[in-house]
Amino acid sequence: MSAKYIIGERSSHLYEIQICRGDKMNALTDAMYGDLVEQLEIAERDDAIRVIFLRSNNKHFSAGNDLADFVETEFNESSNVIKFLVSLASLKKPLVCAVSGAAVGIGTTLLLHCDLVYACDDSKFSVPFIKLGLTPEGASSKLLAQRCGTAKANDWLLTGRTFLTDEALGSRLINGSYPDMETTWNEARNIAVKLAKSSSRALQETKALLKADQIDNVIDTMRKEAIVFAEGLETEEAKAAFHAFLNR
């Protein structure tokens, strides 16, 4: 059903994955997470691929988890979203990401598992779990503070407020920004292509060293977060928030 929403294409040593559900701001469904996992596995398995590049093919990066899917699909520790997060965190090959427009919820937390992130000057980021009666996922309860500092992590996760590219850059959530969407995609892709000219072994060893000691903790945190998240989904306030959005 979702195959057309996630596409992957190999070009020399680069594997490019695009999220293509523009009419719903690239909100991600369980099936789409499944397809993302499949695409990441293809890229990891292929010895010719050295670098993975992720972006959307439209104005926004992702409005986060599809809220209708939260209502319709059972969430548990073995849901595709958890498989997706674990496979992102476990990637051996470098992952470069280009963000355009909105990056909401997992649209922002997945960036914590990317090695290099670039965004448009006018992108908008948020981790608004609190507004839905939910809690952090994707190990963001640990990684956001590690990457951006405790003050920012507390602010963003406790208020759920939207922040802009300047703040994301100043807080080291992203590596750089470009004036518009096309430039962001092109420049981020150029950087990924440049990386892919390096030795595959050295790229992977460097990534492994940079992430040393982190991976087990990250996956453990994701699993703990998933238990609390699943409880949150069953609460009346979460159900009311989904209902309010879906019946606007």
Q: What is the distance between the alpha carbons of residues 162 and 126, in angstroms, rounded to a whole number?
A: 5
User: How far apart (Å, rounded) are the C-alpha atoms in residues 2 and 54?
Assistant: 17
- Supply the minimum distance, in Å, between the C-beta of residue 203 and ligand COA: 32
d(CA 236, CA 96) in angstroms, rounded, equals 38
Check binding of 61 to ligand COA (CB under 6 A).
no
CB of 194 to ligand COA, least distance (A): 32
Q: What does R_g of the chain's alpha carbons equal in angstroms?
A: 17
Q: Residue 110 class from Cβ within 10 Å (0-12 exposed, 13-18 middle, 19+ buried)?
A: buried
Give the residue with the Cβ less far from ligand COA, 94 or 128.
Answer: 128
Alpha helices, H only, 75-139: 80-90, 106-109
Is 105 a residue that touches ligand COA (CB under 6 A)? Answer: yes
Residues from 117 through 136 that contact ligand COA (CB under 6 A): 128-129, 132
Position among 66, 75, 85, 157 found at the interface with ligand COA (CB under 6 A) = 66
24 binds ligand COA (CB under 6 A): yes
The residue (of 67 and 222) whose beta carbon lies closer to ligand COA is 67
* 134/117 Cα distance (integer angstroms): 26
Could you list the residues that contact ligand COA (CB under 6 A)? 24-25, 27, 63-68, 102, 104-105, 128-129, 132, 245
